[in-house]
Chain A
Amino acid sequence: MENELKFHYMVHTSLDVVDEKISAMGKALVDQRELYLGLLYPTEDYKVYGYVTNSKVKFVMVVDSSNTALRDNEIRSMFRKLHNSYTDVMCNPFYNPGDRIQSRVFDNMVTSMMIQVC
């Protein structure tokens, strides 16, 4: 439980960093902006990666710092998979944007991704 809260807090603080990054790139056209934001900021225990879609939906990934085997490309591919699964969830007309995602497919994908990394 504590960990969950801590992660929630970390994700929330990282949202500010994401906003900063978006606004910094905002002068250029949106098309030129990269979706993958890269390492947002490292703490002593964790690294936080960010990704934002064209519709300003933000994905934040918190990774253990001790997991040095994780490369940037892998993170990118994970974000891409997340993005694809997210669009599949959005395609469901019964899903209201902003709701908690209850899609089993999505959950399975995320779990498998996390297991694969760990």
Chain B
Amino acid sequence: MEAAAGGGCGSGPSLLLSDGEQQCYSELFARCVGAASGGQGPGPAEAARVASGTASAAAGPVADLFRASQLPAETLHQITELCGAKRVGYFGPTQFYVALKLIAAAQSGLPVRIESIKCELPLPRFMMSKNDGEMRFGNPAELHGSKVQIPYLTTEKNSFKRMDDEEKQQETQSPTMSPLASPPSSPPHYQRVPLSHGYSKLRSSMEQMHPVPYEGRQPLVQPEGTSFGVSGAKPLRHQASLIRSFSVERELQDNNSNYPDEPWRITEEQREYYINQFRSLQPDPSSFISGSVAKNFFTKSKLSIPELSYIWELSDADCDGALTLPEFCAAFHLIVARKNGYPLPEGLPPTLQPEYLQAAFPKPKWECALFDSYSESMLTNQQACDLNGMEKTSVKDMADFPAPTQDVTGDDKQALKSTLTEALPKDVPEDPATPKDSNSLKARPRSRSYSSTSIEEAMKRGEDPPTPPPRPQKTHSRASSLDLNKVFQPSVPATKSGLLPPPPALPPRPCPSQQPEQVSEAELPPQLNRAPSQAAESSPAKKDVSYSQPPSKPIRRKFRPENQSTESQEPSTAVGGPASGATVKPHPTVQKQSSKQKKAIQTAIRKNKEANAVLARLNSELQQQLKEVHQERIALENQLEQLRPVTVL
């Protein structure tokens, strides 16, 4: 062994090993090699991979050993790179010794470089993990514990070789992972336990031979777990995948708690992996993967279509044709299990139920994801707020919408923080987002309608200056000249006043007429009053009387004597009496006003007539078109009927 080690040393970087080091390293190497050969009985491929037939330590126990050195993962990666194992593809004696030397260097605080191994170093120290340490020391409890795992997983030994092959393939593949290669690394705990068990047996047997560098068990589960969780993010790296597999292996034992169906439990590493895969298909972790996308992805796993169909049936709980993240994880897990030889269950196992998966998601990851989804929901809320803010119509709308959205975001926050589940952030942002979106959508057309109505109203205002009171006054003003006559001819106004009510229904007047109307409003009321006084008027005229009363008061005083004179002629309405007197004095000014108004009215009439003509022409054209369309329709129906009996035989 030592001779071989010496020979191996010559080929690599020149190593000067002290005797103690030589002994130690060779022991370790033998251990690893022995474990490799012991743990992999049906592993001819392993041997084939070994170049030139020299014994080489399998990557498994080597990684285990390196991990036991308590060095951080990055350092171990560096070491493996430096020692040449990556280059060569396996741990030959040279590489192994170099690696051990580097480990020693790193543990002494020296930088991990080839130069550092040239100096004298203490032996590398290896802290055994709880797993191996306990097994190594032959702790019966732990052994039993590990043995309990075996019956579950003995069926998987035959697939171990396949897993290993696939793992090796994984290295050589391009960085874009295919689900075929990468999933095998996720449930390797099924396979690794028998390996480690065999390894531990060997080590416990060889333990007596070499007491030196190994220390007792260290409860290093957590820090290593997390550090390897970080390294687990790079599954392509050979070491990383192995390291991850071992940490997963430890977790398997920890997860012995509630559910008897171990194979259906998703471990942390697997979950992270699934989440990464989900992200590669769909960047938003709170959203769906569509059916076709998922189909393409899962068909890469080379399972048969009926099986995939069945897996989909199991995992898509809400049967919506899309997979949410827990559904995706469940489906992925089922596929992985199926590939490893597990029969598919009749129903979805409880550990794969979406509710369970959502509740069990690791928090740090999901705080980020929640934050993402929450920020998205906030964004949608803000967008909704912005959209609502863009409504030009009324401040009231702006006040209304931000208030309810803020309330909902408050609810969102509480929901997110309290449960830390995925469904709620998925559902709640979507649900309030969608009603908010619908609200904003509804609001937007509403805003448009508001703005349109405001424009229309503005336009109408431009066209329609006279409010009802002025209009009748105008009419009354028009009739004022007649009314003047009526003053002296009480018999006439009866018929003339009958004309007065219809004019209020005239179409809107042009703008210029508005001002003279307003100017003459003061004079109009007395004329208005004359109308009701001279005839039994309907209510609008009386209203006009009421309108006109205040402005007519100053005039009334002037014309009191005239009122008194005319009062006799207007015995019916006392109100109309005093006002009617006022009509005498403003008569000449009224006449001027009335002429102006006449012209205005005449222009309005002309314009209306033109509009009428245009509309009439339009109407006739449309009527013609309608007739033509009717005729066409009749022709088509005839044709259809002719054709129909031919087809229906």
A residues with a Cβ closer than 8 A to B are 23, 87-88, 90-95, 102-105
What is the distance, in angstroms, from B115's C-beta to the closest C-beta of chain A? 57
* Contact between chains at B309 and A95 (CB < 8 Å): yes
Q: Report Cα–Cα, A91/B320, bound state, in Å.
A: 6
B265-306 contacts to A (CB < 8 Å)? 291-292, 294-295, 305-306
- B305 touching A94, Cβ below 8 Å: yes
At the interface, yes or no: B308 with Cβ under 8 Å from chain A?
Answer: yes
Q: List 13 A-B contacts (CB under 8 A).
A: A90-B321, A91-B319, A91-B321, A92-B291, A92-B313, A92-B316, A93-B292, A93-B295, A93-B312, A94-B312, A95-B309, A102-B310, A104-B313
The listed residue (B291, B305, B308, B648) touching A91 by CB distance below 8 A is B291
Min distance, Cβ A88 to any Cβ of chain B, angstroms: 4
Give the distance in Å from the alpha carbon of A90 to the alpha carbon of B294 in the complex.
15
Flag if B321 contacts A93 (CB, 8 Å): yes
Cβ contacts under 8 Å, B309 to chain A: 92, 94-95, 102-103
Q: Using Cβ atoms and an 8 Å threshold, which residues of chain B touch A105?
A: 313
A93 to B292: give the CA distance in the assembly, Å.
6
Question: What's the least CB distance linking B130 to chain A, in Å?
Answer: 43
Inter-chain CA distance A102–B309, complex, in Å, is: 9
Secondary structure class of chain B's binding surface, majority of residues: helix
> Least Cβ distance of A99 to chain B in Å?
9
Please tell me if the beta carbons of A104 and B320 are within 8 angstroms of each other in the complex: no
On chain B, the number of residues with a Cβ less than 8 Å from chain A's Cβ atoms is 16
Q: B291 near A93 (CB under 8 angstroms)?
A: yes
Q: How many angstroms from the CA of A91 to the CA of B315 in the assembled complex?
A: 12
A70 to B321, CA, bound (A): 34
Tell me the complex Cα distance, A95–B319, Å. 13
Contact present for A94 and B320 (CB under 8 Å): no
Nearest residue, chain A, Cβ from B640: A27
- Name the 3 nearest CB pairs between A and B, nearest first: A93-B291, A91-B321, A94-B309
Q: Which A residues are in CB contact (< 8 Å) with B306?
A: 102
Known contacts: A103-B313, A104-B313, A105-B313. The answer to whether A94 contacts B308 by CB under 8 A is yes
For A96, the closest partner residue in chain B by CB is B305
A residues within 8 A CB of B291?
91-93
Residues of A within 8 A of B319 (CB): 87-88, 91
Within the complex, what minimum Cβ distance (angstroms) separates B639 from chain A? 15
CA distance A92 to B310 in the complex (A): 9
The CA of A90 and the CA of B291, in the complex, are separated in Å by 11
A102–B310 CA distance with the chains assembled, in angstroms: 9
Bound-state CA distance A92–B291 (Å) is 7
Q: Bound complex: CA of A104 vs CA of B310, how far in Å?
A: 8
Query: Which residues of chain B in 362-400 are interfacial with respect to chain A, using CB atoms and an 8 Å cutoff?
Result: none
Nearest to A94 among chain B residues (CB) is B309
Q: Which residue of chain B lies nearest to A102 when distances are taken between CB atoms in the complex?
A: B306
Q: Tell me the complex Cα distance, A88–B291, Å.
A: 12
Query: When each residue 65-77 of chain B gets 1 if its CB lies under 8 Å from chain A and 0 otherwise, what string results?
Result: 0000000000000
Report whether A94 and B321 are in contact in the complex, using a CB–CB cutoff of 8 Å: no
Convert B309-328 into 0s and 1s, putting 1 for each residue whose CB lies closer than 8 angstroms to a CB of A. 11011001001110000000
Enumerate chain A residues within 8 angstroms of B294, measured Cβ to Cβ.
93
A38 CB to nearest chain B CB (Å): 21
Closest to B320 in A: A91
The smallest beta-carbon distance between A111 and chain B, in angstroms, is: 15
Question: In whole angstroms, what is the CA distance A105 to B305 when docked?
Answer: 17
Q: How far is the CA of A92 from the CA of B312 in the complex (A)?
A: 7
Instruction: A90 to B320: give the CA distance in the assembly, Å.
Output: 10
User: Which residues of chain B are near A87, meaning CB under 8 Å?
Assistant: 319
Interface centre among B292, B294, B313 (most CB of A within 10 A): B313
Chain B CB within 10 Å, residue with most, of A92, A95, A102, A105: A92
B648 A23 Cβ-Cβ under 8 A: yes
Besides A88-B319, A93-B294, A93-B312, 10 other A-B contacts (C-beta < 8 A)? A91-B316, A92-B291, A92-B309, A92-B312, A92-B313, A92-B316, A93-B292, A95-B309, A102-B310, A105-B313
Complex Cα–Cα for A103 and B309 (A): 8
Query: From residue B84, how far is it (CB to closest CB) to chain A in Å?
Result: 46
Contacts of B321 in A (CB 8 A): 90-93
What distance in Å separates the Cβ of A50 from its nearest Cβ neighbour in chain B? 19
Q: Are A94 and B316 in contact (CB under 8 A)?
A: no
- Of all chain B residues, the one with the shortest Cβ separation from A101 is B309
CB-CB < 8 A to B312: which residues of A? 92-94
Distance in Å: Cβ of B125 to nearest Cβ of chain A: 54
Residue of A nearest to B296 (CB): A93
CA distance A103 to B320 in the complex (A): 15
Complexed CA–CA distance, A69 and B11 (Å): 91
Q: How far is the CB of A1 from chain B (nearest CB, A)?
A: 25
Measured CA separation A88–B312 after assembly (Å): 11
